[in-house]
Amino acid sequence: MGKLVVVYENTLPGDSKTPLFEESALNNSSFNLLREVLSSNEKELYEFFTRVTRGLKPWGAQRAWIKRLLRGENTVLVAPTGIGKTTLLLVYALYSALRGKRVLYIVPTRSLGDQVFEKLSTMSSSTQRDIRIVYYSSSLQSKRRISILNSITRGDFDILIITSAFLKKLHVLCSYNLDVVVVDDADSLVKNEKNVYILLQILGYDQRDVDLAKRRLELLRKILIDRISSRDVTTLVKELLNIDNELEKSLRSKPLGQLVVASATCYTRGLAGKILRDLLKIDISGITIYGRDITDSYVYVKNTSEAVTEVLKIINKLGKGGILYISPRNPGREVFVEAAKKIQEILVSSGFRVSEATPAAITRLVSGELDFLVGFSSYYSISVRGIDSPRNIKYVIFLGTPVFSNILENFLTNPNSLIRVALEVAEQLGDRVLAREVLKIRKQLIYASNVEKKLIRYCLLGKISENTILDKSKIRELYISIKDLYIRLLPVVKRIIDLRAVLCIGSITLVKSGDKYLAVIPDLMTYIQASGRTSRLLGDKMTHGLSVIVELSEYANFVKSLDLKFKTLDRDMGLKATNEVNFDHEALLLESSRVGDCEASKLKYKSILLVVESPTKAKTIAKFFGKPVARRIGDISIYTIPAKIGDEILEFNIISTRGHVYDLTTKSNVGIFGVEIDRNSIRSVYTTIKRCKICGTQFTDLDACPRCGSNTYTDSKILVYLLQKIGLEVDEVYIATDPDIEGEKIAYDVYTIIRPFNENIWRIKLHEITRSELLSALKQKRHIDCKLVEAEIYRRILDRLVGFSLSIKLQEAFKNRNMGIGRVQGPLLDFIVNRYYDHINSKCKKICVSTSTPLKFVFCTHIDSAELIERLRSASSVELIKLIEDIVEISPKPPYTTEDLLIDASNKLSLQAEAVMKTAQELYEAGLITYHRTDCTYISGTGISIAKTYLQSKSLEYLFTPRHWGEPGSHEAIRPVNPYDSEQLLRALEEGLLPLVIPLTSRHLMIYDLIFKRFIASQMKPYRALRSKFKIVVGGIELGELSVLVDIIEHGFDLVDKPKIYQGLRDLDNLSLSLNCIRVFNSSRILLYSEGDLVSLMKNYGIGRPSTYSKIISSLKRHGYIILSKTKQKVIPTKRGILVHKYLAENYS
């Protein structure tokens, strides 16, 4: 066989003609020149940074941000507090001003404005250039403010510093173009929707742009709702594409400013936030805590006196340099306010300099004139945000956990909260009727959109009329059920709180404070911001900090809930009791990290491009380490999130290919359907893939969609350029496409695309989408598996030479361009058609005998005799005569492989194979199950530990029987990745403890429940049951035998995967039951295949692979060769399918 050569078209730099697995000499002079220019600009800004900061060098994160800033991109600096964001913003503002750009610098508070003005003035002196820095502050005298306003109106400045409050003077700022807008601490700006619209105007966007963006978002929502309802969305999609084109043309025609945003915990809200994201192509929301070097601790106290004692004990150990925060929404606020006053009095009398938080006091603390600050732990508090004093702030003490509190009546209007509380109440009261009712409502709620849930809540709050809901038939019944539950549950919950004082429901705490009933949840973002004052970047290292929460014992759940929320960002983070903290050692760390050279605190940094296949998988991975920042280029999103792994900070830039990037060309002048064969080589010519934006059809070389004729499509050529662009920015590339043969080919394509731009490219495999699996995979990086890639290419070539050729013959014979057949679809169609003929030729009558209470069952059999049928019709009872009784041991089945899952989902849930695989893919990408394309039953030690944890939580550990089910293979069996059954999974989602990037539907839950029960059962003991076999006699005619379980002798996995038990038959030798009815149907002794049966056939005959079973079946449906019967979902060949089968049999058998 000749050498295999892969040819790539539409690949930069130049087209690549590469002998498989050999390095190609891809040199491009223009590309090398571009790289040199970019590198030169970066070096220039590095040197400028060092000069104006008097010796500091930009560290890893700052260098990564500099690359984006110099390309003129809207850039979000998402990083924890104290990591050096503000320093870079100051340097970039000066750098831009020196290059003739007009810069607006927005800060949240006056105190931070004072600091920024002072630092910029100091830095500018190092440039030896006259930079006009103007700072507008409301604290200035009237004449000075008027003078500065006049300067701003004339545009007489290079850098203008303002607070968010100044944005209301929009008319002053819109008389000229602003080249760069810097927003330091974006949270305070975007909390006000008006500020968001003002920001857009300042950047150069007009009202028409905003209106188009609003309409675009409205269309996207309508398309989503209509697709869920299976309505045609073609018209809406066309309007959306027109708006996209108009918006793109508008934005290209005007000069727009560059937005540079810094934040540690930003969250955009409402419609304005979505418009900002849409127009700027970047999401400024982001939460991350990497690099944070803080010991987080807590202590419980009973009263004011104990609180004072504990705080003073800590201060005596640690000395000066702290902030005391009072939690303003904590139900124990009065206790803590009183404690703070006493602590302040004692500290002042002991010679410490203490002050309440004001802008002047913050300035004194930063300069070292104060020892302690006392403030409130609220998100926008002046003492929580914008204080940068790495040397003088060493620790913080919270008097009360930072929390949100809501009136119980309002809290329960949220349908999800109502369901969560109702289930807990039902469980605690042992009310099974209420539990069933609530579960029924929750099942309905799964189908409701967020908009519909919001409407229900507004009605319950009285914000909108109930007629708004009652006129909408879709959610009318749901609203009535929820309202009734709300009315009945509210007084019950209040009575429980009155009796117990505190009702803990996971991360929710219900309490009574004064005459009010409150729902309290932890305020994680405020805690991160406030505690972040203690750990800051000092030179090239992070200072160490300490945080202590002092909480009342009765509210211990506040701390536990905060800890749970903390772990959703980083499972290695968490709070520990102060009796586990060595305060002497902490005191040493607080001092040593602020002086001298502390190697352990120095930050190492690496930027990574992580390539996956699906957007869902990209989002799931990005959320392992916080809330990522998303930037969008065209239709492609890149998620950026930094994380501290060991002693190194990795900045993940995660992008999805959305499947294959290339496919074989269909050009008529390129070999046989893209394959060129000669004596020396086999050349497969690949080109980028196009996808129709109207109907989703995928094609390669045409200029219009072959199905609907639309010339509006995406081309993966854009993805190629983008991968190369980001590949140039990062230090290393990791390709984490699916761990199968298809994924390996995509990985090779990505490698070929990026290789000229970055040599550090690695392949990793993720068998489950979890944080631990990702970290493990990074340590086991490898090169592309050449054999797997070669196998996939040969398979694709074979598809083209056989399947493609046959398809063209079919299209010519039947004069239909939509007809086709694959090399594995043909044999399966043969099975289906032959089975159909066998079914037709084996017709008979089917008798179904139904009994009435107390023992209901249906028994079916086939009979040919008309005389027997008439005798049965006249019978009035069914006789069960016991034949034998024995004890059987029933062992669990191994966990699911792909084919077993498809078979069970088809037979037990009546789901089609395509739907099952799509749902399993979504569950895998959302991080809920392991990889679902597998023929292996092996379970790893991690999987076994998940089963053990679950069984322990249910007090069933005595039934735990660990099994690996074989030897390790390329994959594990399909199993859950968390020890949550479907009920626990929903509760974790309702409390926000398990963030998902997809909405869970009933189908997701059904498939998950199937997988979970099969897996847990596989790690449990067998069960022993009493089995009885009965002869069934009707009207003196023996119809057959019935074997049933009548009792459980010894429990095992039956407690999880419950079998049907007929206990009423246990002690009976004979039983006569009255007949409910006898039905006679036309039937056949040979049944038609179900989709599950087809999967079994393909497995047994070696047709296809587990990963392609559902695709083969769906292809036969798509071509119109088979349909499913309406009630029993049996596979029936169509007239077209039979004709195609006949044509193939006559011409190619």
Over the stretch 416-452, which tens digit does the pLDDT of each residue have? 899 999 999 998 888 989 999 998 898 888 777 777 8
What confidence category does residue 24 fall into, taking pLDDT thresholds of 50, 70 and 90? very low
Cα distance from N-terminal residue to C-terminal residue, the chain: 27
What's the pLDDT score for residue 1090? 92
> Which secondary-structure segment (H or E) carries 279?
helix 270-280
Tell me if residue 101 falls in helix, strand or coil.
coil
Q: How many CB atoms lie within 10 A of CB 809?
A: 16
pLDDT at residue 675 above 60?
yes
Per DSSP, 803 falls in state I
What confidence category does residue 268 fall into, taking pLDDT thresholds of 50, 70 and 90? low
What confidence category does residue 491 fall into, taking pLDDT thresholds of 50, 70 and 90? very high
Tell me if residue 294 falls in helix, strand or coil.
strand
Provide mean pLDDT across the span 204-219: 89
What confidence category does residue 355 fall into, taking pLDDT thresholds of 50, 70 and 90? very high
Provide mean pLDDT across the span 98-124: 90
Q: Which strands make up the sheet holding 322-326, listed edge to edge?
A: 354-356, 372-376, 322-326, 395-399, 545-552, 294-301, 576-577
Whether 58-204+255-288 and 294-402+523-600 share one fold: the answer is yes
Query: How many whole angstroms separate alpha carbon 805 and alpha carbon 817?
Result: 13
Which stretch of 722-731, 744-753, 866-875 has the lowest confidence by average pLDDT? 866-875
What confidence category does residue 34 fall into, taking pLDDT thresholds of 50, 70 and 90? low
SS3 content of the chain, % helix, strand, coil (to 5): 45, 25, 30
The residues near 602 (Cβ < 8 Å, ≥ 6 apart) are 540, 541
Burial status of residue 598 (CB atoms within 10 A of its CB: 0-12, 13-18, 19 or more): middle
**Mean pLDDT (the chain, rounded):** 86
Q: What are 211's two structure tokens?
A: 């209106």
CB 506 within 8 A of CB 987: yes
CB 214 within 8 A of CB 271: yes
The architecture of the domain spanning 294-402+523-600 is 3-Layer(aba) Sandwich (3.40)
User: Which of 631, 529, 619 is closest to 259 using CA atoms?
Assistant: 631
The tokens 């029924």 sit on which residue? 440
pLDDT at residue 359 above 90?
no
What's the pLDDT score for residue 950? 94
**CATH number listed for the domain at residues 898-1021:** 1.10.290.10
Query: How many whole angstroms separate alpha carbon 750 and alpha carbon 720?
Result: 8
The architecture of the domain spanning 843-891+1024-1084 is Sandwich (2.60)
The residues near 193 (Cβ < 8 Å, ≥ 6 apart) are 269, 270, 271, 272, 273
Peptide linkage before 976 cis (omega within 30 of 0)? no
What confidence category does residue 323 fall into, taking pLDDT thresholds of 50, 70 and 90? very high
What's the pLDDT score for residue 290? 61
Q: What digits encode the pLDDT tens for the residues 369-384?
A: 999 999 999 877 878 8
Provide mean pLDDT across the span 338-366: 91
Query: How many whole angstroms separate alpha carbon 651 and alpha carbon 608?
Result: 6
The CATH homologous superfamily to which domain 819-840+1088-1148 belongs is Topoisomerase I, domain 2 (1.10.460.10)
The CATH homologous superfamily to which domain 58-204+255-288 belongs is P-loop containing nucleotide triphosphate hydrolases (3.40.50.300)
What pTM was computed for the model?
0.80
Greater model confidence, 335 or 572:
335
Q: What are 108's two structure tokens?
A: 């949240």
Q: How many CB atoms lie within 10 A of CB 789?
A: 22
Q: What one-letter code names the amino acid at 49?
A: F
What confidence category does residue 944 fall into, taking pLDDT thresholds of 50, 70 and 90? very high
Burial status of residue 616 (CB atoms within 10 A of its CB: 0-12, 13-18, 19 or more): buried
CB 974 within 8 A of CB 896: yes
Q: What digits encode the pLDDT tens for the residues 625-661?
A: 877 888 888 778 899 888 878 778 888 999 999 989 9
Q: What one-letter code names the amino acid at 1142?
A: K
Q: What digits encode the pLDDT tens for the residues 1004-1045?
A: 999 999 999 999 999 999 999 999 998 888 877 887 888 889
pLDDT at residue 32 above 70?
no
What's the pLDDT score for residue 668? 79
Q: What digits encode the pLDDT tens for the residues 1050-1094?
A: 999 999 999 999 887 888 888 777 766 777 778 888 889 999 999
What's the pLDDT score for residue 444? 84
Q: What digits encode the pLDDT tens for the residues 995-1009?
A: 787 888 889 999 999
Query: How many whole angstroms separate alpha carbon 202 and alpha carbon 181?
Result: 8
Greater model confidence, 141 or 974:
974
Greater model confidence, 855 or 1133:
1133
Provide mean pLDDT across the span 513-537: 89
User: Which of 696, 348, 328, 705 is closest to 530 using CA atoms?
Assistant: 328
Task: State the catalytic residue, choosing from 517, 734, 931, 950.
Answer: 931
The residues near 758 (Cβ < 8 Å, ≥ 6 apart) are 609, 727, 728, 730, 732, 733
Q: Which fold has domain 3-31+603-792?
A: Rossmann fold (3.40.50)
Q: What is the distance, to the nearest Å, from the Cα of residue 112 to the centroid of all Cα atoms in its chain?
A: 35
pLDDT at residue 852 above 70?
no
Q: What are 3's two structure tokens?
A: 């050498």
Listed by start position, the domains of the chain span 3-31+603-792, 58-204+255-288, 294-402+523-600, 406-517, 819-840+1088-1148, 843-891+1024-1084, 898-1021
CB 13 within 8 A of CB 26: yes
Query: How many whole angstroms separate alpha carbon 475 and alpha carbon 451?
Result: 11
CA 496, 499, 501: angle at the middle one, nearest 5? Answer: 90
What's the pLDDT score for residue 496? 94
Our separate counts of H helices and E strands in the chain read 39, 45
Q: What digits encode the pLDDT tens for the residues 728-745?
A: 889 999 999 988 889 999
What confidence category does residue 396 fall into, taking pLDDT thresholds of 50, 70 and 90? very high
User: What percentage of the chain has pLDDT greater than the value 70?
Assistant: 92
pLDDT at residue 186 above 80?
no
What's the pLDDT score for residue 289? 61
Q: What digits encode the pLDDT tens for the residues 808-822?
A: 888 888 888 778 888
What confidence category does residue 180 fall into, taking pLDDT thresholds of 50, 70 and 90? very high
The residues near 86 (Cβ < 8 Å, ≥ 6 apart) are 116, 184, 262, 388
pLDDT at residue 605 above 90?
no
pLDDT at residue 476 above 90?
no
Greater model confidence, 1108 or 600:
1108
- CA distances, 801 to each of 684, 699, 807 (Å): 12, 18, 10
What's the pLDDT score for residue 999? 80
CA dihedral sign of residues 236, 237, 238, 239: positive
Provide mean pLDDT across the span 494-515: 92
What's the pLDDT score for residue 22? 43
Provide mean pLDDT across the span 315-340: 94
Q: Is residue 938 annotated as a catalytic residue, yes or no?
A: no
CB 702 within 8 A of CB 667: no
pLDDT at residue 230 above 90?
no
The residues near 766 (Cβ < 8 Å, ≥ 6 apart) are 736, 739, 773, 774, 777, 931
CB 406 within 8 A of CB 414: no
The residues near 635 (Cβ < 8 Å, ≥ 6 apart) are 714, 718
User: What percentage of the chain has pLDDT greater than the value 90?
Assistant: 42
